[in-house]
Amino acid sequence: MSTHAEVAFSFVVGRRSACPATVRVSERFSVRFLSGILPIFLTACHAHSARPSQGKLWEEFSGEKAFAHVQHLIDLGPRPPASDAIEKSRDYIDNQLRLSGWQVARQSFTDNTPRGKVGFVNLIARFHGQGNATVSFLLCSHYDTKTFDTIRFVGANDGGSSTGLLLELARVLGQHPNLAAQIELVFFDGEEAYENFSGSDGLYGSRYFARQLEGKGAKQFRGGILFDMVGDRSLDITLPLGSPAQMAHDIFTSADALKLRSYFSYFDREITDDHTPLNSIGIPTLDIIDFDFAWWHTAGDTIDKVSAESLQIVGAVAAYYLAEFALK
């Protein structure tokens, strides 16, 4: 991900221990949310008791299972667009989704890049046997890894973690067909820029997906969540400033209800990522991202930097949010 954030990131990481900007922002929001949280939580509890029980979706999410998916992807090596390894990762994602009851379509396209024409493939999944009419919410991750000529980059956190988390979330949702029927899962190819993020480099998959959906198709979706870099063993989820306000609010409330609020704060500025093209076509999409990651776009983004516990935290909060706020 990036542009604005690439600049911001060196600032935050350079002061990893103090992290003044992020701390200031999160403290400010903590105060604001604490004052508003009790009535909202009571409302959420009331709403939950008034509807048929879904079971506790968030207790079914397994950080260990998500981590095993990440390990499997990493074992394939670097997975840049149009490589043999990314094709193997597509087969893996496809198989895992089918095992959980999802039907997978491949959205293939070519685009001009700084390295010439490249073929990309988004994977789009809907729950088996569900009609189009019920689908209203997007859950997304990118599964490509950034192309590097000089380092071996396996993207355990950047590309791997969110894909593993989304596969596990797909399994959990698959146990609840009434919820799964409302979801479209999208695994984006080509999130990473070859050079620098711009209107024509980076976000290849999400820009193409959004172009296909623009207009009537976009109206079908009430919202979406993008997951990116959610496995850092030192977890600090940093929602971009400018995130859809109600969604961010409800994520904080979900985290608070699970006593995981301390892992969630705001970043101190916007972040350009795969949620950007979706928001541009009118689908409010939240980027759940930890942009405080010292190994970002380095050879050190390896499996030892990722933990099952962090995946568990993000997965549980997302599942709580889906069950209590996003889905009916």
Residue closest to Zn ion when measured from CB atoms? 158
As given in the structure block, the two tokens for residue 236 are 């600090």
Query: Which range in 12-20, 113-121, 155-163, 231-239 contacts Zn ion by CB under 5 A?
Result: 155-163
Q: Is 29 exposed, middle or buried (0-12, 13-18, 19+ CB in 10 A)?
A: middle
- Which parts of 26-55 interact with Zn ion (CB under 5 A)? none
3-state secondary structure of 292: coil
Query: In terms of CB distance, is 158 or 287 closer to Zn ion?
Result: 158
Q: Which two tokens stand for residue 106?
A: 């491949």
Number of residues near Zn ion (by CB under 5 A): 1
**Of 158 and 236, which CB lies nearer to Zn ion in the complex structure?**
158
- Give the nearer residue to Zn ion in terms of CB position, either 158 or 168: 158
Residue 184 interacts with Zn ion (CB under 5 A): yes or no: no
Residue 204 half-sphere exposure toward CB, CA atoms < 13 A:
30
Q: Between residues 158 and 184, which has the closer beta carbon with respect to Zn ion?
A: 158
CB-nearer residue toward Zn ion: 127 or 296: 296
What are 21-30's contacts with CB under 8 Å, separation 24+? 21/268, 22/236, 22/238, 22/265, 22/266, 22/267, 22/268, 22/292, 24/268, 25/241, 25/265, 25/266, 25/267, 25/268, 26/265, 26/266, 29/252, 29/265, 29/266, 30/261, 30/265
Question: What are the angstrom distances between the C-alpha of 140 and each of 118, 122, 170, 245, 264?
Answer: 22, 10, 11, 19, 19
Nearest approach in angstroms of CB 220 to Zn ion is 29
Of residues 259 through 278, those in contact with Zn ion by CB under 5 A are none
Interacting span for Zn ion (CB under 5 A) from 115-123, 156-164, 243-251, 299-307: 156-164
Pairing relationship of beta strands 223-228 and 285-289 according to DSSP bridges: parallel
10 Å CB burial of residue 148 (0-12, 13-18, 19+) is middle
154-187 burial string, b = 16+ CB within 10 Å, else e?
bbbbbbbbbbbbbbbbbbbbbebeebbbbbbbbb
For the beta carbon of residue 102, count every other beta carbon within 10 angstroms: 25
Q: Which is nearer to Zn ion, 115 or 219 (CB)?
A: 115
Residue 297 C-beta: closest distance to Zn ion, Å: 6
For residue 146, the minimal CB distance to Zn ion (Å) is 5
Among residues 158 and 189, whose Cβ is nearest to Zn ion?
158
Which of 271, 195, 225 is CA-nearest to residue 1? 271
- Collapsing DSSP to helix, strand or coil, 177 comes out as helix
User: Within positions 158 to 177, which residues make up the interface with Zn ion, using CB under 5 A?
Assistant: 158
Span 215-234, contacts to Zn ion by CB under 5 A = none
**DSSP assigned state of 77:** -
Contact stretch for Zn ion (CB under 5 A) within 78-86, 154-162, 283-291, 316-324: 154-162
What's the closest the beta carbon of residue 142 comes to Zn ion, in angstroms?
8
Q: Please, what is the minimum distance in Å from the beta carbon of residue 201 to Zn ion?
A: 13
Give the interface segment with Zn ion, choosing from 151-159, 166-174, 205-213, 215-223 (CB under 5 A): 151-159
54-62, 157-165, 218-226, 235-243 -> range binding Zn ion (CB under 5 A): 157-165
CB of 162 to Zn ion, least distance (A): 11
Q: Find the shortest distance in angstroms from Cβ 232 to Zn ion.
A: 13
Q: Which is nearer to Zn ion, 130 or 157 (CB)?
A: 157
Nearest to Zn ion of 3, 253 (CB atom) = 3
Query: Interface with Zn ion by CB under 5 A: which residues?
Result: 158
